[in-house]
Amino acid sequence: MRIDIVTIFPEFFSVLDVSLLGKARQSGLIDLGVHDLRDFTIDRHRTVDDTPYGGGAGMVMRAEPWGQALDGILDASLERGVFDPLIVFPSPAGDVFTQAMAQQLSSEKQIVFGCGRYEGIDQRVVEYAETRTRVKLVSLGDYVLNGGEVATMAMIEAIGRLIPGVVGNPASLVEESHSSGLLEYPAYTKPGNWRGLDVPPVLLSGNHGAIARWRLEQQLERTRRVRPELLPPELR
């Protein structure tokens, strides 16, 4: 997968050089391009924002730098034979990001993340982008962030780890929270007793059937207690 990020804070994404995603980039599973929006301005102050039409507090991101940045990325995609990359604009007004969406997006050839700041991006950028390719507004959740970078980082991690070969043991993806529709069971490791707290005896029994049943019961109990809406009505 090719991932492009447009942002006024390119240094924010240096963390993508390390850990699992860093390894995925070294092995060629993920190809990453981070683009500084200010590189697409033409004034000496590299201005990316301006006052909002209609008045109001704050500033709005100007359309032209975005138009130049997205055209450059999309034209480069065409040269690589990718004709319909997906542009994702993180936005509080977007569809809420879920594991199902991460799974769906993990099969994309190319995703371009457009990280807004200030009060947002001139709406005509979204309208223009829709004339060139597929566009999706996605929200990380029902709370307000200061820009799209944190959401983009979270989405890249959630999507990237689902790309075949990125996670060493694919079986570990199956039992995770949300992948099975249930929250995950509690995990334990040595020592057997830690500060007077024991590991549940069933996990020491060697009885794999009993262990599997205990883990499923834990998943159902935890999901019923914390996120009942994830369960079908008959299991709530």
Give the interface with ligand JD8 as residue ranges (CB under 6 A): 90-92, 116-117, 119-120, 139-141, 143-148, 151
Per-position DSSP letters for 9-78, written without gaps between them: -GGGGGGGGSHHHHHHHHTTS-EEEEEEGGGG--STT---EEPPTT--SS-EE-HHHHHHHHHHHHHHHH
* Between 85 and 90, CB nearer to ligand JD8: 90
CA distance 30 to 3: 7
| CB 90 to ligand JD8: min, Å | 3
CA distances from 76 to 4, 110, 114, 183, 198 (A): 11, 12, 16, 41, 57
| CB 89 to ligand JD8: min, Å | 7
| CB 155 to ligand JD8: min, Å | 8
| CB 116 to ligand JD8: min, Å | 3
